[in-house]
Amino acid sequence: MEEKVFKTADTEESYRRTQTEEFVENLTDFVLQQQLYRAAIKEMRTKLEILDEAFQVRYDHNPIHHIEYRLKSPKSIFGKLRKKGLPITTESIWDNLTDVAGVRVICNYIDDVYRVAELLLKQDDITLVRVRNYIDYPKENGYRSLHLIVSVPIFLAEKTEHVNVEVQIRTIAMDFWASLEHQLKYKAQDDVSQELRKRLKNCADSIAALDIEMQSIHKELQNARSKPDENDVLPDPEGIGETKTASGT
């Protein structure tokens, strides 16, 4: 009888130890995975910053206004897996979630959005996993943005991991609308009325028209700038040959 009691306590202790070991192992895997996603965000930010700088030097224009990024919180990760009825494991996160690492690129003009996407996807180590063009095909509520899921290699000591990153590229105007719409939806808690939805959609359409107009103004100003200014043209002293601009270019 005494021996039996001992055995049960022993089994319980060993069970608890196995549970603890398993928990620590899972936690370590999760922390390592988070580190990979963080590294992928860093990599993408650097790539985008380099693209922006190179573009500035070459064309005297910054396509990127600013960059935002976020690592999905453990609470959101587990909430999403649970909602989709998927297993709560690091493998499941890896296989099923594409937005753990998120980078948002806010551009000045619509052309910049496509330029940034094109230059990014041209890079040898970037693989396009999925694209959703909500600019050419806006969502019913008026949401506009270009969404790319890309895979980026992260070089570790013993292996290379290809990590998915969600890249949302949009203009300042599109971002302004999306941020406010998100806030309003979040604040409303319950369903937003049909009337307010319609007004939000109208705002989205006005903003889209504004983007097109701003793009057009920017293009005209650029064209005007690339033509030599009449006042810069020096008269040809001999009255023949080529005219020269004041700057000599």
Count CA within 13 A, CB hemisphere, residue 146: 19
Question: Can you give the binding site for Mg ion, defined by CB under 5 A?
Answer: 99
Binds ligand GTP by CB under 6 A, chosen from 18, 20, 56, 141: 141
Q: How far apart are CA 170 and CA 135, in angstroms?
A: 8
Other beta carbons within 10 angstroms of residue 93's beta carbon come to 23
> Least separation, in Å, of the C-beta of 145 and ligand GTP?
7
Q: Report the alpha-carbon angle 172-129-63, nearest 5.
A: 25
Binding mask 178-217 for ligand GTP (x = CB under 6 A): x--xx-----------------------------------
- The number of residues in the chain equals 249
Which residues inside 8-67 make contact with ligand GTP, applying CB under 6 A? none
Number of residues that bind ligand GTP (CB under 6 A): 10
Long-range Cβ contact pairs of 33-39 (< 8 A, separation 24 or more):
33/90, 33/93, 33/94, 34/71, 36/154, 36/161, 36/163, 37/71, 37/100, 37/101, 37/163, 37/165, 38/71, 38/101, 39/154, 39/163
Pairing status of strand 160-171 against strand 101-107: parallel
Nearer to ligand GTP, 66 or 139 (CB): 139
If we measure between CA atoms, which residue out of 184, 107, 104 comes closest to residue 142? 184
> Least separation, in Å, of the C-beta of 218 and ligand GTP?
25
Binds ligand GTP by CB under 6 A, chosen from 126, 147, 207, 208: 147
Q: Is 143 in the site for ligand GTP (CB under 6 A)?
A: yes
Binding mask 85-114 for ligand GTP (x = CB under 6 A): --------------x---------------
Nearer to Mg ion, 112 or 175 (CB): 175
Question: Would you name the residues annotated as active-site residues?
Answer: 166
Nearer to ligand GTP, 83 or 159 (CB): 83
Q: Is 139 in the site for ligand GTP (CB under 6 A)?
A: yes
> Least separation, in Å, of the C-beta of 111 and ligand GTP?
22
Q: Report the alpha-carbon angle 221-146-86, nearest 5.
A: 165
> Least separation, in Å, of the C-beta of 130 and Mg ion?
12
> Least separation, in Å, of the C-beta of 133 and ligand GTP?
10
What are the DSSP E strand ranges found in the chain?
Answer: 64-71, 101-107, 127-133, 146-155, 160-171, 233-234, 244-245
Nearer to ligand GTP, 66 or 219 (CB): 66
Pairing status of strand 233-234 against strand 160-171: unpaired
Nearer to Mg ion, 99 or 161 (CB): 99
Binding residues for ligand GTP, rule: CB under 6 A, are 99, 132, 139, 141, 143, 147, 168, 178, 181-182
